[in-house]
Structure 1
Amino acid sequence: MTTTQEHLLIVDDDADIRQLLRQYLQENGYRVTTAADGKGLRAALAAGHPDLIILDVMLPGEDGISLCRAVRARSEVPIIMLTARGDDTDRIVGLEVGADDYVPKPFNPRELLARVKSVLRRAKSLPPNLQHEELRWFRFAGWSLDAVTRDLTAPGGVVVPLSATEFKLLRVLLDHPGRVLTRDQLIELMQSRDAGPFDRALDVQISRLRQRLGEDAKEPAIIKTVRGQGYVLAAAVHSES
């Protein structure tokens, strides 16, 4: 049982699911707030700062995809999407707009709890390459990444928001400039315990990170694909503490 009292926000229009998850997650040591729709989500965010949001895709009015996009535009709070089983479209679009993981309905509460723990662990984990733990600034191709605040700053000075997963992926690539990393190596270095869904979605995460960096989708200059092998950060990286 967790002893840190992380705050979880559950957004689902099904009252039975909200009650079930509230009770189960509270029994496992979490502080839980619930909301039934986008209005309730915004009210909950205005009242406090959750450590993680569990967000249903199918909501009345503004759907979960739109809400995920809106939240991600202003916050790096981890988001787990609840999607219809077998609906790859919702899963992929959810990851594209900033979700950190997904759980298909119907689900076992124990599985959701495991995902919650895993996503929170990833969000709080230190950069994986121990020899670079003391480094704070990474500068590459006119961009800069602050590894403490997790701010990615564009060449023009605009701060670009990153999800926890995007930050972890970029940090792994910056720790290994010029080195081709396979999919398995990337997942291992990102310290993902539930590698299955992230293995299938890794290309999506790479694509989203390229978009953050303003890359040409057809001819990316910073994060390159090495056919049949993996990905490589092709830019020179200058790091400092």
Structure 2
Amino acid sequence: MRVLLIEDDNRVAGPLMEGLSRFGFTVEHARTGAAGLAAGEAEMVLLDLGLPDMDGIDVCRTLRLRSQVPIIMISARNDEVDRVLGLELGADDYLSKPFGVRELVARIRAVFRRAGPAAAEPASAMPVPGVDRPGPVAHPQQIGPLVIDRRGRQVHLHQTPVGLAPKEFDLLAYLADDPGAVRTRQQILDAVWEPNYFGPTKTLDVHVAALRRKLGDPAWIDNIRSVGFRLTPPADAAPTRHGEESTEGGDR
């Protein structure tokens, strides 16, 4: 998800950007209201009220007039009037400083789920992995020699059935939603396990290892070091229907 952070204090913005990036977000930072209004399209706006050039309330009002992008106000102001005014002008949530990155991430995901498909219009038309997933594919999906039947929850490799546990199938199906795309660890945990999953991440590594073993080649699931995983056919597998070249698995 692309997040626009409108915050003038670098002591606040720096840790927020670093923390959000660890959860897989791409953050653009604007230090003034004018810069925020001139910034590129985003899928979520984090808006400080105490900006040097204009009040955050006015920024919120302007953003809402031209877009339905979700807005979370972040401010040291605890005045109820500010919170009520911001929400009435179209802000989706209000978070008082200080706060933790995990709480902010949970708020972002909750707001995006409530906002629904219209949240990205017209700010962005890109889907957000792990938030709004497409429904089951009507026909089996083929990726090289791998065939995934979501309706029947069956997998065949080289026309041979592959027995998968329920979570293993869900993990494979999620990665196969966009073959070659890198999904962060948190995105996978949120989508395959539960939203805002904060449990031990070792369970993901265990399921990835099991999938690699059952698919007969670890190169099927590529580990992008410090980021996440992607599904990609091994180099000796048949090309996908899109004719894209595959890459070998392993750590990057």
Q: TM-score if structure 1 supplies the norm length? A: 0.47
Which one has more relative contact order, counting CA pairs under 8 Å at least 6 apart? Answer: 1
Computing the radius of gyration from Cα coordinates, the structure with the larger value is 2
TM-score (norm: length of structure 2): 0.45
